[in-house]
């Protein structure tokens, strides 16, 4: 019997396998055997960490050729993980081996120096800190950091901000339906912070502080969501429709690509890969069928081709009337 592994499962395994290998090696450094032979345990942990990351990188790279700098980065990351993650006696034994410390230091320095040089070149070329950071860090991590930074700025500083409507565009709101639900979640989040802090603080103050920080982040995120739903409406431009769902969805489609307006869509259909569902925490009341597939690039995840676009508006009739005049 042949077992077929789907691309999604394969991708998950390539991420999970090195993590599990490194985690097992880390636990091994806390064993009695490692305590009896700390130098050998340290070298073994260093080898497992660097090798697991390098092999995972080779497996994921196109044609299994990740490039020298990426491979050097994986080995450098393994050096850092082994140094930080090892048990105390094993770490002390590793740091006592001058040759090992020198080799790890040179590896990390070579990767950082090479990456900073390329980042400086990218910064001079693009004038973008995001593009420059993407040279050193994984692109997904950079996008996540930029997204979180934008959300926190929106939550903390954009009080009273007007909706973002460029000149010549017509805006269509959708926040009146969604924001009351988000406000309910916000109130529940505040109550949860108080209750959890009271309960957990009696058990462990450090855990209580961590959960408090996460709770405050959740409150700020809900505030940013409410603001984003109001500040980023759906926009009808001269030749395109910009479908937005807060800071989660931003998709522009040419008016010439709209084939028809459908009366409704089922929940099952909104979950199909070829349907872009921009109705956050609600059911769509506007469904557009496209005359040709268009590529949608989400903030996170792989691009995909969509044939229908579904979203919700406070007053859908206004947009439908405007579309009828344009298409």
Give which of 52, 31, 42, 51 is closest to 101, Cα–Cα. Answer: 42
289 and 236 inside one domain? yes
What confidence category does residue 1 fall into, taking pLDDT thresholds of 50, 70 and 90? very low
pLDDT digit string (tens) for 302-317? 889 999 999 999 998 9
On whether residue 74 sits in a domain, the answer given is: yes
Q: Compute the radius of gyration of the chain from its Cα atoms.
A: 25
Q: Domain for residue 268, yes or no?
A: yes
Neighbours of 35 (CB within 10 A): 15
Instruction: Please give the average per-residue pLDDT across 184-197, as a whole number.
Output: 88
Reported in sequence order, the residue ranges of 205-318 that DSSP labels E, i.e. its strands, are: 234-236, 240-245, 249-254, 258-262, 275-277, 286-296, 304-311
* Gap between the terminal Cα atoms of the chain: 54
pTM value > 0.75: no
Angle at 242 between CA 240 and CA 246, to 5 degrees: 175
Q: Are 107 and 197 contained in the same domain?
A: no
Kindly state whether residues 92 and 185 are assigned to the same domain: no
Average pLDDT of the residues in 151-158 = 85
* Residue 2 located in a structural domain: no
Structural domain contains residue 147: no
> Is 131 in the same domain as 223?
no
- Same domain? For 126 and 34 the reply is yes
SS3 content of the chain, % helix, strand, coil (to 5): 65, 15, 25
Contact 125, 119 (CB under 8 A): no
Question: Does 294 lie in the same domain as 173?
Answer: yes
Taking CA atoms, 237 is separated from 243, 268, 303, 319, in Å, by 11, 31, 24, 12
- Number of structural domains, the chain? 2
Instruction: Say yes or no: 320 and 178 in one domain.
Output: yes
Are the C-beta atoms of residues 219 and 193 closer than 8 Å to each other? yes
User: In the prediction, which pLDDT does 7 show?
Assistant: 63
Instruction: Determine the pLDDT at residue 102.
Output: 95
Asked whether residue 326 is assigned to any structural domain, the reply reads yes
Query: pLDDT by residue (tens digit) across 10-40?
Result: 666 767 888 888 899 999 999 999 889 999 9
Give the range of the structural domain holding residue 166, as residue numbers without chain letter.
160-327
Average pLDDT, the chain: 87
Could you read off the pLDDT of 235-280 as tens digits, one per residue? 999 889 999 988 888 999 999 888 888 888 888 888 888 999 988 8
- Say if residue 274 is in the same domain as residue 311: yes
Residue 224 sits in the same domain as residue 75:
no
Segment 110-117 shows an average pLDDT of 91
Whether 128 and 220 share a structural domain: no
């Amino acid at each position: 019997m042949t077992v077929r592994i789907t691309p999604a499962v394969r991708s998950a395994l390539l991420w999970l396998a090195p993590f599990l290998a490194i985690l097992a090696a880390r636990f091994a450094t806390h064993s009695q055997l490692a305590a009896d032979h700390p130098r050998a345990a340290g070298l073994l942990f260093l080898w497992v960490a660097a090798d697991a990351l390098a092999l995972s990188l080779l497996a994921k790279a196109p044609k299994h050729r990740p490039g020298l700098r990426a491979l050097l980065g994986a080995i450098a990351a393994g050096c850092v993980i082994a140094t930080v993650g090892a048990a105390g006696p094993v770490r002390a034994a590793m740091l006592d081996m001058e040759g090992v410390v020198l080799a790890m230091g040179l590896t990390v320095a070579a990767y950082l120096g090479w990456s900073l040089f390329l980042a400086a070149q990218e910064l001079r070329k693009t004038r973008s800190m995001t593009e420059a950071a993407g040279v050193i860090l994984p692109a997904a991590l950079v996008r996540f950091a930029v997204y979180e930074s934008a959300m926190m700025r929106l939550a903390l500083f954009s009080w009273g901000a007007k909706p973002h409507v460029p000149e010549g565009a017509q805006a269509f709101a959708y926040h009146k339906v969604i924001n009351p639900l988000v406000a309910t979640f916000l109130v529940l989040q505040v109550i949860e912070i108080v209750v959890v802090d009271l309960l957990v603080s009696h058990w462990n103050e450090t855990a209580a502080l961590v959960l408090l920080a996460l709770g405050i982040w959740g409150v700020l995120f809900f505030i940013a969501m409410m603001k984003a739903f109001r500040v980023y409406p759906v926009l009808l431009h001269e030749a395109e429709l910009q479908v937005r769902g807060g800071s989660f969805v931003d998709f522009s489609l040419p008016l010439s690509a709209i084939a028809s307006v459908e009366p409704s869509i089922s929940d099952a259909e909104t979950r199909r890969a070829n349907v872009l569902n921009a109705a956050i925490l609600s059911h769509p009341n506007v469904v557009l069928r496209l005359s040709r597939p268009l590529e949608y690039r989400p903030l996170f995840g792989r691009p995909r081709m969509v044939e229908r676009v579904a979203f919700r508006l406070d007053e859908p009739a206004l947009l439908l009337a405007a579309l009828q005049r344009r298409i």
